[in-house]
Amino acid sequence: MDYVGPEEMVENVATTGAKKSNSPIHILLLKGGMSGAFLGYSTVLAYTTATQTGLDFLGALVFPVGFVLILLLNMELVTSNFAMLPLARLRKKTNNKKILKNFFWVFTGNLIGSVFFAILFSIYITKFGHITGLSIMDKIIAVAEGKTLAYKEYGAAGMFVAFVKAILCNWMVTLGAVMAFTSNSTVGKIVAMWLPVFLFFALGLEHAVVNLFVIPTSMMLGADITILDWWMWNQIIVTIGNFLSGFLLTGLTLHLVTKHKSPSVELYVKNKPAS
């Protein structure tokens, strides 16, 4: 059958997380870099669709393209790893040192890839600085200012809002990464991961790696945002929120609800001949 049950799915996720934790640094950087760029592509696609149609809903509908590329090609996205690697640790398939190594180098790779794509996109959309005021440029600037300056205006309350939105966001993102394991077919994987990723983007939540592209791009396009604004009022608190939701709401929860069940025993019972 194409469908993979929860117990087997969680075990497969844990095994994949363990493999990721053993990847060498240069592989983590390369895969992380490509993931950052792929999310940049899908973010531009989403904002272009939204500005051309006037419907943010349609932009959110096409956004998961980047996640499909990342997961089907087995790239490295730190927000997905926030659930997969702790799950591997809970199943005693890796250790804390390897997890921290993966998180650091994948985040670094995601940052490099995001900024690299941001530079190329800025050159292309502005015709190397000769054009301003396009609707897609205004959209990116408005979104980025809403992710930084709007929170700054409300002080600690704004920071807490960003934190909550980050928790809600990566709950869906990590579910998307995990749900890709519920199917053995390519189409099944795409459909399964598409749904929660579409949901987080449609609700305007806070995703650390998307922000690694959106905010620096807006700065290149002329947004009144400083590097301090970027990291203090968004990036750091959003990354922490993404980690906590990925670990607690997805990784730990799935471990707890499936740890007492064995896929092999369940398979035997299911196929046991009638007496």
Chain centroid to CA 34: 13
What pLDDT does residue 264 have?
A: 46
pLDDT tens profile 76-96: 999 999 999 999 999 999 999
128-to-22, 122, 220, 223 alpha-carbon distances in Å: 41, 7, 11, 17
Go through the chain and tell me how many residues it has: 275
Q: DSSP for 3-19?
A: B--HHHHHHHHHHHHHH
| Predicted pLDDT at 260 | 81
The C-alpha torsion from 202 through 204 and 205 to 210, rounded to 10°, is 90
DSSP letter, residue 181: G
CB 117 within 8 A of CB 199: no
CA–CA separation, 202 and 60 (whole Å): 5
What single-letter DSSP state applies at residue 259?
A: T
What are the 10-residue block averages of pLDDT along the chain, 275 residues in total?
A: 91 98 98 98 98 96 98 97 98 98 98 98 96 95 98 98 98 97 96 96 98 98 97 98 98 94 49 47
The answer for 226, left when phi > 0, alpha when psi is -120 to 50, beta otherwise, is beta
Sign of CA dihedral 69, 75, 76, 82: positive
Instruction: Please say whether the structural domain 6-261 has been given the CATH code 1.20.1080.10.
Output: yes
**CB under 8 Å to 66, separation ≥6 — which residues?**
38, 39, 40, 41, 42, 43, 45
The predicted model scores a pTM of: 0.93
- Output phi, psi for 3, to 5 deg: -75, 135
Tokens of 199: 């949901």
Ramachandran angles phi, psi of 126, nearest 5°: -95, 5
Query: Could you tell me which residues come within 8 angstroms of residue 152 by beta carbon, excluding any fewer than 6 positions away?
Result: 158, 229, 233
The pLDDT value given to residue 227? 98
Give the residue extent of every domain in the chain: 6-261
Q: What is the per-residue pLDDT across 132-162, written as a single tens digit (0 to 9) for each?
A: 999 999 999 999 999 999 999 999 999 999 9
